[in-house]
Amino acid sequence: MSSPSASPRIAAFFDKLLEHKGSDLHLSIGHPPLGRIRGGLQPLREELLTQPELESMLFELTSPEQKRHITEELDLDFAYSYGTRARFRANYFYKTSGIAAVFRTIPSRVLSLAELNTPEVVRKLAERRSGLVLVTGPTGSGKSTTLAGMIHHINHTRAAHILTIEDPVEFVHESVKSQVTHREVGMHASSFATAIRSAGREDPNVILIGELRTNETMKLALQLASYGVLVFATVHTNSAPATIDRIINSFPADEQPQVRGMLAEGLAGIVAQQLIRTADGKGRVAALEILIGTSAIASMIRDNKVFQIASKMQSSQGLGMQTLDMHLERLVAANTITPEAALEKAQDKESFVKTLQRLKPDFQVSAADGGEALGH
């Protein structure tokens, strides 16, 4: 959906956000407009937003159908193009003070894997001909950006049919070597499951599924991966082993052995990422955990020994695997991030403190960050 008027009232806040290279705009009644800039929230003006001002600002961007949706369903997700300057993923919702919204910036230019500094192994995953590739992490960890980089790589290197199923469509890819088809749930299909079911009949080589929300969509994605399609999808989990557990545990007990078999067979890889502020405070860097679906990993999934995966990842660096803590250690050693920021995201905090004390002999665990993490 594009701007109905030449310059909507919200434009001043979009301009400020983009000028400061912010990632999100938060609007709610009784608060000043806030921009997430370099990871922290900052007011974009002093005056507080009033109900009439915010309502007129938000409804200026919606169609009558979208306005009806927010008033009846109480929330609304859509993508909004701000001229040629940027696209935003908009989420309108109601809270105690009334209507509120968050706009997430979608860069208008898709960054390549080289520009994102992703490891070589991520490019190799994008070059697979089949299998399931999951990119996971909390909200706002850059999953969509990494996936867009992988799709960009395929689009520029092979003649394939790439189908994306999203809610809403975030990055828009112009067809280069590949034919790219974007489908938006709600607008072009009634649900993710319906769109994924019909995807098999649309002769795709590559499918990007915005999010695997239900066990039904998970099963459909695994089936497509087993039919010789390369399937990319996101899941909201913090580590590769947790992602595997999450998928298996979303099924009833009697279906789990079958799902373990499908996952063991079809999993090409998992990239679990976290965004961390850089030591110079000027930006953020992605810390990645990478799991590759080898025969050893497949056996662990099939035999329900997911707890052994982390140590297998540590011993399989030659294949491009790494745990999140291994990458955090390298980022601290390169002075890209601070030891404190790394410890906050580390998975095994106790052993990571020892790593930090080895890397930075003057590092002290303060009661604030390490103390409670270590249970003191």
Determine the pLDDT at residue 6: 57
If you write DSSP's letter for every residue of 273-336 in order, what string do you get?
Answer: EEEEE-TTSS-EEEEEEEEE--HHHHHHHHTT-GGGHHHHHHTTGGGT-B-HHHHHHHHHHTTS
- 155 found inside a domain: yes
- 225 found inside a domain: yes
- 129 found inside a domain: yes
Judge if 289 and 181 occupy the same domain.
yes
Q: Provide the 10 A C-beta neighbour count for residue 85.
A: 11
Q: Stretch 98-125: mean pLDDT, rounded?
A: 92
> What are the CA-CA distances from residue 130 to residues 125, 290, 355 (Å)?
10, 18, 38
Domain count, the chain: 2
Contact 153, 131 (CB under 8 A): no
291-316 tens-digit pLDDT: 999 999 999 999 999 999 999 999 99
Residue 363 vs residue 50, higher pLDDT: 50
Domain encompassing residue 93: 10-106
Judge if 83 and 159 occupy the same domain.
no
Q: Stretch 184-189: mean pLDDT, rounded?
A: 85
Angle made by CA atoms 197, 203, 205, in degrees to the nearest 5: 100
Determine the pLDDT at residue 152: 97
pTM exceeds 0.75, yes or no: yes
Judge if 215 and 303 occupy the same domain.
yes
- Residue 241's pLDDT band, with cuts at 50, 70 and 90, is very high
Determine the pLDDT at residue 296: 97
CATH number of the domain within which 18 lies: 3.30.450.90
361-373 tens-digit pLDDT: 888 876 545 444 4
Per the DSSP assignment, residues forming a β-bridge with 287 are 274
Judge if 133 and 182 occupy the same domain.
yes
Cα–Cα distance for residue pair 204/357, rounded to 1 Å? 50
- 374 found inside a domain: no
- 373 found inside a domain: no
SS3 state of residue 100: strand
- Residue 62's pLDDT band, with cuts at 50, 70 and 90, is very high
CATH number of the domain within which 271 lies: 3.40.50.300
Q: Stretch 70-94: mean pLDDT, rounded?
A: 89
246-298 tens-digit pLDDT: 999 999 999 999 999 999 999 999 999 999 999 998 888 999 999 999 999 99
Judge if 21 and 71 occupy the same domain.
yes
Inform me whether the pLDDT recorded for 49 exceeds 90. yes
Determine the pLDDT at residue 90: 94
Judge if 124 and 46 occupy the same domain.
no
Judge if 17 and 68 occupy the same domain.
yes
Q: Supply the angle between the helices 240-249 and 256-266 in degrees, to the nearest 10.
A: 140
- 2 found inside a domain: no
- 37 found inside a domain: yes
Q: Stretch 331-360: mean pLDDT, rounded?
A: 93
Q: Stretch 100-117: mean pLDDT, rounded?
A: 90
Q: Provide the 10 A C-beta neighbour count for residue 193.
A: 17
- 197 found inside a domain: yes
**At 258, which helix (H) or strand (E)?**
helix 256-266
Contact 162, 204 (CB under 8 A): yes
Contact 324, 274 (CB under 8 A): yes
Judge if 99 and 212 occupy the same domain.
no
